[in-house]
């Protein structure tokens, strides 16, 4: 008997059919991957199962019995729990308070904190999910916050746990920890539905996999029987060939140069990343990026990449050292001046830094250019030029949008990123700072952005690629610099690193491996 | 109320309310339509309340309508009442476009009003009236701008929350003007007020023989100007970008602190003009504590207008209408004008809290489920 069976589920949003008669079955105590590109209908299907959306047609059975959920409360009562992509936690409250909120033990009208704490400790021990019950949620890492969300679901008696792209927010070693937790939960009898678009993760963790494409189920199979190439093709609907990279000419002129740049903690644009004041976030970083090359910065996130990005784009002043662009000192220039010198920036935090989500597609496409010709003349915006420009970029970069007046917030993550990439690359830059350019994107969109970056390289642009995805850095870069704790611990031509070298260096163990 | 409650959930009026509420709860309804239905809904609920209080609904609304539009004089009265609200509503809306909540329009209005009065009185009859009026308006806008610039600067540079600072400066604005009038400008007599402004140095009547002044024309011009700045200029784009996502604006090279200060300056200048329009166009003098809370009602106007400059115009007119119409309702039909204040409140509730509309809808869920499209 299936733990969950969904039969002929259909869900429409206006004219869009998000789920088209989808069948989906999960066996008890299995880890089942729900694989598909962004917009394939994975999250919609699971939100229906969790009672957040109402289905237009179809039946749902839990443990063989037909059910009808009018909200998450009903789903939780039937033992279904969901951890969303964006956590729903109260930062100022402690881990314990967050976990018991809504089902809290009381003494009179007050929270019985001691008992709550005991409940949390008990659940967290049973499943081996280590958390500090008294820590404030805003002060713990994203990986820890995710555990809090999982514990929240388990405490409410979840036997079927839905994880919506749980690895998107995690650093590589945290992904390993999450997988360990998932395996333990499975051994304890919990059924896990794991939403993802990453093939490696599917292969690493799941027992079975269901592939969705354009709102339809295209396959369900044992993971062991499926090769990554098969899955990719099922998911995208066409074959994916990695883009070719033409030879590297190492003698382009130096476009960007960092000389002994250091950043110490304290207040600044990136201060929200936390950490003790006075600690070096960037330690004596020197590097050069030449025209016609991609320099990849590899490293586990949080090792100074954000500070590096912010220093180069002018959001943060280094405590010492200089930044030169085409030989000119831009260390104290600020974002406006640096942009005007032909630097394009794809920010690592797209939602926070890259777009204004309530602005339209057309408005977002002039962000950063709102005072420059041809979009403005003597301070007056030129709507016709703005719309022409938007139509061109949307077309060239394949941004899927209903209209140019659509608020960008209503676009999918992949299309938002294509918009940002399109905007930045079309500025005619001579330096491109691409930070996590494909984070959260599916195979199709990732492939597209990779090709765009390589095309820029062919045109002789200098590109600094900052990415936590090792595969991406290796596939695109001419040279690779590895960052660890704010320092560049190795910088060599890409072909001189093996994957193992890079892994060790990123983990801080590779110093002296080879030189 | 006991039996009346039955009416509220079952009668034909209730059906209208529920229909409208259901419509409001739909996604994708345009702002204009939303506010319009919220107003209608509030009037329907107002009617239920009037009936529940034992008055004739027809009597009440006939008098309300007559009091607001029944004659040129009444219409002028409505416009006169709407004038300061047009400015304060616009003031709050502009700040909001930059993500700022200017709760200080009341104080800015007082300093603006006094600055205008002082300029007119100090310049004296040697200066032509037109020049005096223009300079007085400039002074009013400047005074309001100065009072608002402080909170703007503190927000931009120090992160001090503008709600706190502008609220506090309300007291400064109101008490400072009272102090100045009492100490330096008081006309002899029991009331703390300045002497009358000379006839040639006032905002002239728009319709001769009525109480509406050119202030309302000025207000409409301000709406046009603000709308143009926000929609068509680089500065307006940047102000909105800061309001919607300051981090992205900063990344894109926008001078975020500068835009915050500018938005507050604009907001304060417009609130200052609200004071000028009342002092120079309605009262013809500065009277201490003259405002019945125009600055605060401006917040409600902005909410109803959904912070759109053009929306402020109908919103201010509606509030002007409810006030002037409510008065004649009280006068002629002996129905308390407070009921119209209540209607204002209900409008705001519906506009500010769409969830409330959904609540009405939830009751009719069953019907929606069996009847297909809800």
A307 and A441 in a single domain? The answer is: yes
pLDDT at position B27 is 52
Do A30 and A86 meet the contact criterion of CB atoms below 8 Å apart?
no
Contact A315 B250 (CB under 8 A): yes
Q: How sure is the predictor about A420, in pLDDT bands with cuts at 50, 70 and 90? A: very high
Mutation site for B-interface testing, chosen from A338, A340, A356 by largest number of B Cβ within 10 Å: A356
With contacts defined as CB-CB under 8 Å, which chain B residues touch A269?
250
Contact A370 B232 (CB under 8 A): no
A229 and A322 in a single domain? The answer is: no
Q: Does A358 contact B at CB distance below 8 Å? A: yes
Per the structure, the complete domain to which residue A168 belongs is given by 4-236
With CA atoms as reference, the chain B residue closest to A333 would be: B253
Q: How far is A351 from chain B, CA to nearest CA, in Å? A: 8
Contact B250 A269 (CB under 8 A): yes
Q: Does A276 contact B at CB distance below 8 Å? A: no
Closest-CA residue to B59 (of B334, B327, B321, B323): B334
Nearest residue, CB atoms, B251 vs list A345, A358, A383: A345
Mean pLDDT per 10-residue interval, chain B, length 374 residues: 44 67 60 80 88 90 91 94 97 96 97 97 90 97 98 94 96 97 93 93 92 96 97 96 96 96 98 98 96 94 91 94 88 85 82 63 41 31
Mutation site for B-interface testing, chosen from A269, A358, A367 by largest number of B Cβ within 10 Å: A367
Whether the bond between A374 and the residue before it is cis, its omega within 30 degrees of 0, is yes
Contact B253 A336 (CB under 8 A): yes
Altogether, the residues listed in chain A come to a count of: 515
A198 and A111 in a single domain? The answer is: yes
Q: How sure is the predictor about A278, in pLDDT bands with cuts at 50, 70 and 90? A: low
Contact B253 A353 (CB under 8 A): no
CA angle, residues B189, B190, B194, in degrees to nearest 5: 60
- The mean pLDDT of A318-333, rounded to a whole number, is 94
With CA atoms as reference, the chain B residue closest to A351 would be: B248
Query: Which chain B residues touch A if contact means CB-CB below 8 Å?
Result: 231-235, 237-238, 240-241, 244-245, 247-255
Nearest residue, CB atoms, A379 vs list B233, B249, B252: B233
Q: Is residue A337 part of a domain?
A: yes
Q: Is residue A439 part of a domain?
A: yes
pLDDT at position B354 is 64
pLDDT at A358 over 80: yes
How many other C-beta atoms can be found within 10 angstroms of the C-beta atom of residue A114? Answer: 11
Question: For residue range A454-481, what is the model confidence (pLDDT) as tens digits?
Answer: 999 999 999 999 998 888 999 999 999 9
With CA atoms as reference, the chain A residue closest to B251 would be: A353
Restricting to A residues 302-321, those with a Cβ less than 8 Å away from any Cβ of B are 313, 315
pLDDT at position B23 is 63
The CA distance from A346 to A348, in Å, is 7
A71 and A191 in a single domain? The answer is: yes
Contact B244 A357 (CB under 8 A): yes
Q: Is residue A409 part of a domain?
A: no
A231 and A265 in a single domain? The answer is: no
Nearest residue, CB atoms, B237 vs list A315, A337, A370: A370
Contact B245 A355 (CB under 8 A): yes
Q: Is residue A287 part of a domain?
A: yes
Domain map (residue ranges) of chain B: 85-319
For chain B, how big is the Rg over CA atoms in Å?
A: 22
With contacts defined as CB-CB under 8 Å, which chain B residues touch A347?
251
Q: Calculate what percentage of chain A has a pLDDT beyond 70.
A: 95
Q: Does A380 contact B at CB distance below 8 Å? A: yes
Lowest mean pLDDT segment, chosen from A120-129, A366-375, B29-38, B220-229: B29-38
pLDDT at position A168 is 77
Mutation site for A-interface testing, chosen from B253, B362, B368 by largest number of A Cβ within 10 Å: B253
- The mean pLDDT of A274-279, rounded to a whole number, is 50
Do A431 and A256 meet the contact criterion of CB atoms below 8 Å apart?
yes
Nearest residue, CB atoms, A358 vs list B244, B250, B255: B244
Compute CA B25 distance to the chain's CA centroid, rounded to the nearest angstrom.
25
Helix or strand run (H / E) with residue A17: strand A16-26
The CA distance from A83 to B315, in Å, is 43
Contact A368 B253 (CB under 8 A): yes
Q: What CATH number corresponds to the domain at position A201?
A: 3.40.50.300
Q: Is residue A402 part of a domain?
A: no
pLDDT at A269 over 50: no
pLDDT at position A308 is 96
| Cα dihedral value A181, A187, A188, A193, nearest 10 | 60
Complex confidence, ipTM: 0.82
In a 13 Å sphere around the CA of A28, the CA atoms on its Cβ side amount to 10
With contacts defined as CB-CB under 8 Å, which chain B residues touch A362?
none
Question: For residue range A144-154, what is the model confidence (pLDDT) as tens digits?
Answer: 888 899 999 98
Which two tokens mark A354? 């890259």
A97 and A9 in a single domain? The answer is: yes
> Which of A236, A264, A287 is the last residue before a domain boundary?
A236
**SS3 of residue A58 by DSSP:** strand
A437 and A476 in a single domain? The answer is: yes
pLDDT at position A91 is 82
What does pLDDT average to over chain A? 88
With contacts defined as CB-CB under 8 Å, which chain B residues touch A376?
233-234
CA angle, residues A69, A73, A74, in degrees to nearest 5: 35
CB neighbour class for A427 (10 Å; exposed up to 12, middle 13-18, buried from 19): middle
Number of domains in chain A: 2
**List of residues 6+ apart from A23 with CB closer than 8 A:** A6, A7, A8, A9, A217
Contact B234 A339 (CB under 8 A): no
Higher pLDDT, B334 or A7: A7
Q: Does A460 contact B at CB distance below 8 Å? A: no
Q: Does A385 contact B at CB distance below 8 Å? A: no
With contacts defined as CB-CB under 8 Å, which chain A residues touch B252?
335, 339, 367-368, 370
Q: Does A377 contact B at CB distance below 8 Å? A: no
Q: How far is B353 from chain A, CA to nearest CA, in Å? A: 20
Q: At what angle do helices B234-244 and B256-278 cross, to 10 degrees?
A: 100
Q: How sure is the predictor about A317, in pLDDT bands with cuts at 50, 70 and 90? A: very high
A132 and A196 in a single domain? The answer is: yes
Q: Is residue A366 part of a domain?
A: no
pLDDT at position B360 is 56
pLDDT at position A125 is 86
Q: Is residue A407 part of a domain?
A: no
pLDDT at position B212 is 93
> Which of A178, A204, A236 is the last residue before a domain boundary?
A236
pLDDT at position A434 is 96
pLDDT at position A511 is 54
Higher pLDDT, B348 or A117: A117
pLDDT at position A267 is 47
Q: Is residue A132 part of a domain?
A: yes
A344 and A459 in a single domain? The answer is: yes
A121 and A40 in a single domain? The answer is: yes
Mutation site for B-interface testing, chosen from A349, A366, A370, A377 by largest number of B Cβ within 10 Å: A370
Q: How far is B301 from chain A, CA to nearest CA, in Å? A: 22
């Amino acid at each position: 008997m299936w733990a969950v069976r969904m039969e002929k589920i259909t869900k429409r949003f206006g004219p869009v059919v998000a789920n088209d008669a989808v069948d989906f079955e999960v066996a008890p105590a299995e880890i089942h991957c729900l694989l598909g590109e962004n917009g394939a209908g994975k999250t919609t299907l699971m939100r229906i199962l969790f009672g957040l959306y109402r289905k237009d047609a179809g039946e749902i059975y839990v443990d063989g019995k037909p059910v009808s959920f009018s909200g998450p409360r009903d789903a939780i009562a039937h033992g279904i729990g969901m951890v969303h992509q964006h956590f729903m936690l109260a930062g100022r409250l402690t881990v314990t308070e967050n976990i018991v909120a809504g089902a809290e033990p009381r003494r009179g009208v007050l929270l019985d904190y001691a008992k709550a704490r005991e409940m949390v400790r008990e659940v967290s021990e049973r499943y081996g999910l280590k958390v500090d019950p008294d820590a404030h949620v805003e002060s713990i890492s994203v990986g820890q916050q995710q555990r809090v969300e999982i514990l929240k679901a388990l405490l409410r008696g979840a036997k079927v746990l839905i994880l919506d792209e749980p690895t998107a927010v995690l650093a590589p070693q945290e992904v390993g920890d999450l997988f360990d937790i998932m395996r333990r939960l499975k051994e304890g009898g919990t059924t896990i539905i794991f939403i993802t678009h990453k093939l490696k993760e599917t292969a690493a963790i799941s027992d079975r996999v269901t592939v969705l494409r354009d709102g339809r189920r295209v396959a369900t199979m044992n993971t062991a029987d499926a090769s990554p190439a098969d899955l990719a093709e099922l998911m995208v609907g066409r074959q994916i060939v990695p883009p070719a990279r033409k030879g590297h000419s190492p003698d382009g002129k130096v476009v960007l140069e960092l000389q002994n740049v250091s950043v110490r903690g304290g207040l600044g644009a990136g201060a929200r990343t936390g950490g003790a004041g006075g600690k070096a976030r960037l330690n004596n970083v020197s590097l050069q990026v030449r025209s016609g090359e991609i320099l990849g910065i590899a490293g586990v996130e949080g090792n100074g990449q954000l500070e590096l990005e912010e220093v180069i784009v002018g959001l943060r002043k280094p405590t010492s050292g200089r930044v030169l662009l085409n030989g000119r000192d831009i260390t104290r220039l600020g974002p406006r001046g640096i942009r005007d010198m032909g630097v394009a920036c794809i920010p690592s935090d797209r939602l926070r830094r890259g777009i204004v989500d309530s602005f339209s597609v057309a408005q977002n496409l002039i962000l950063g250019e709102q005072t420059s010709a041809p979009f403005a003349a003597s301070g007056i915006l030129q709507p016709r030029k703005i719309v022409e420009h938007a139509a061109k970029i949307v077309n060239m970069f394949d941004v899927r949008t209903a209209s140019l007046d659509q608020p960008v917030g209503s676009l999918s993550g992949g299309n938002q990123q294509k918009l940002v990439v399109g905007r930045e690359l079309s500025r005619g830059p001579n330096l491109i700072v691409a930070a996590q350019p494909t984070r959260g994107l599916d195979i199709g969109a990732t492939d597209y952005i990779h090709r765009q970056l390589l095309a820029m390289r062919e045109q002789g642009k200098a590109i600094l690629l900052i990415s936590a995805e090792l595969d991406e850095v290796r596939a695109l870069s001419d040279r690779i610099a590895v960052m660890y704790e704010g320092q560049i611990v190795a910088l060599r031509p890409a072909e001189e690193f093996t994957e193992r070298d890079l892994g060790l260096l990123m983990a801080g163990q590779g110093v002296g491996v080879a030189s | 109320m006991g039996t009346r409650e039955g009416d509220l959930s079952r009668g034909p009026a209730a059906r209208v309310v529920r229909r409208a509420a259901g419509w409001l709860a739909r996604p994708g309804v345009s702002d204009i339509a939303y506010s319009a239905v919220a107003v209608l809904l509030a009037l329907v609920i107002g009617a239920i309340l009037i009936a529940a209080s034992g008055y004739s609904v027809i009597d009440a609304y006939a008098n309300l309508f007559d009091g607001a539009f029944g004659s040129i004089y009444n219409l002028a009265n409505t416009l006169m009442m709407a004038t300061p609200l047009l400015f304060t509503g616009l003031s709050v809306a502009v700040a909001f476009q930059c993500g700022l909540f200017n709760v200080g329009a009341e104080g800015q209005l007082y300093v603006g009003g006094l600055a205008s009065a002082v300029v007119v009185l100090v310049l004296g009859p040697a200066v032509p009236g037109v020049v005096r009026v223009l300079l007085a308006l400039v002074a009013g806008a400047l005074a309001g701008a100065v009072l608002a610039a402080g909170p703007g600067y503190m927000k931009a540079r120090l992160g001090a929350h503008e709600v706190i600072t502008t609220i506090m400066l309300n007291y400064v604005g109101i008490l400072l003007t009272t102090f100045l009038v009492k100490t330096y400008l008081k006309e002899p007599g029991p009331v703390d007020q300045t002497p009358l402004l000379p006839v040639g140095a006032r905002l002239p009547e728009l319709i001769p023989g009525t109480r509406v002044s050119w202030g309302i024309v000025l207000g409409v011009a301000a709406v046009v100007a603000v709308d143009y700045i926000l929609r068509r200029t680089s500065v307006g784009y940047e102000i909105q970008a800061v309001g919607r996502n300051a981090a992205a604006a900063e990344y894109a090279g926008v001078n975020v602190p500068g835009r915050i200060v500018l938005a507050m300056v604009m907001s304060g200048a417009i609130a200052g003009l609200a004071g000028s329009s009342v002092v120079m166009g309605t009262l013809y003098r500065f009277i201490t504590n003259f405002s019945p809370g125009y600055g605060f009602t401006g917040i409600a106007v902005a909410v109803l207008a959904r912070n759109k400059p053009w929306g402020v115009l109908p919103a201010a007119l509606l509030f002007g209408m409810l006030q002037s119409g409510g008065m004649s309702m009280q006068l002629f039909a002996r129905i308390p004008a407070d009921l119209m204040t209540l209607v204002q409140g209900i409008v705001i509730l519906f506009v500010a809290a769409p969830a409330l509309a959904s609540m009405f809808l939830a009751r009719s869920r069953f019907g929606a489920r069996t009847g297909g499209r809800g």
